Amino acid sequence: MSAPVGTAAQATPAARRAAARRRFDRIAAGLIGAVAILAAIFALEQAWFGLESTRAQVNAARLSTDATAKLGATSHLVNASVVAQQRWVLLGMEGIARQIAGTSAGDGITAQIGAAQQAASEQYRAAIDETVSSAVRGLDPYMHRLLSATNDSISAEVENQNTEVDAAADAGARAQRAVLGLSITTLAGVLAGVAAVLGVGRAGWGTLGAAWLAGAVAAITAVLVLL
């Protein structure tokens, strides 16, 4: 025995509404799951690249301090050596000049004094060489490393510092993109909640579509963080 025509006509719209509701709920549930996954991804990315940026900044500061200390220590050592060598040259020139003057004037004492000064200048030079070569002996490892640094090693350290600065800037930019993506993900979650409240209807479907669009933008941002 068939159902009355009126009852079948009423059941069809109700079935359609129920099917539309189930479809709406499935789409909304899928979006909420995607939002949860994206939020976890962005949290991990932000934490990882934030730590990378901090590590690179600390290394850059350490390298900068070390290079500055090496440059100051070696400059002081070089300056002291240059001053000592200037004194050696002046002492030797003065001795030669006395010898010439004494010999020209027939003054043997003056000539002997000049010869003694010249000999003293050679001893002074030997003492300078010994002092420079032994300046780093007996020092603690840190000071030994500072005074033994060469221009090439300092330049290499400065290059490493620049590399760490660039790495810190890159990791910081990635961490900021992760924060932006997390904000967009939060927006997608809020829109999904609003769509669930509005339910099946033009407003509900429109809000749910906007939520999916925000989720897609967040997913693209998650990929861009790693590129």
Q: Under the phi-then-psi rule, with left for phi > 0, alpha for psi from -120 to 50, and beta for the rest, what region is 19?
A: alpha
Q: Identify the pLDDT of residue 137.
A: 64
Q: Identify the pLDDT of residue 116.
A: 83
Q: Identify the pLDDT of residue 162.
A: 92
pLDDT in tens, the chain (227 residues): 444 545 545 558 777 878 888 888 888 889 999 999 999 999 999 999 999 999 999 999 998 888 888 888 777 666 666 777 777 788 778 878 878 887 877 777 877 888 887 788 788 777 777 766 666 566 667 677 777 777 888 888 889 999 999 999 999 999 999 999 999 999 999 999 899 888 888 888 999 999 999 999 999 999 999 88
For every residue of 114-183, DSSP letters joined together read HHHHHHHHHHHHHHHHHHHHTTTTT--HHHHHHHT--HHHHHHHHHHHHHHHHHHHHHHHHHHHHHHHHH
Domain ranges of the chain: 26-226
226 Cβ contact partners less than 8 Å away, ≥ 6 residues apart: 45, 174
Structure tokens at 198: 């509005």
214 Cβ contact partners less than 8 Å away, ≥ 6 residues apart: 184, 185, 187, 188, 191
**Whether the Cβ atoms of residue 98 and residue 111 lie closer than 8 Å to each other:** yes
* pTM for this prediction: 0.65
Q: Identify the pLDDT of residue 152.
A: 85
**Whether the Cβ atoms of residue 99 and residue 115 lie closer than 8 Å to each other:** yes
Q: Identify the pLDDT of residue 171.
A: 93
Q: Identify the pLDDT of residue 15.
A: 79
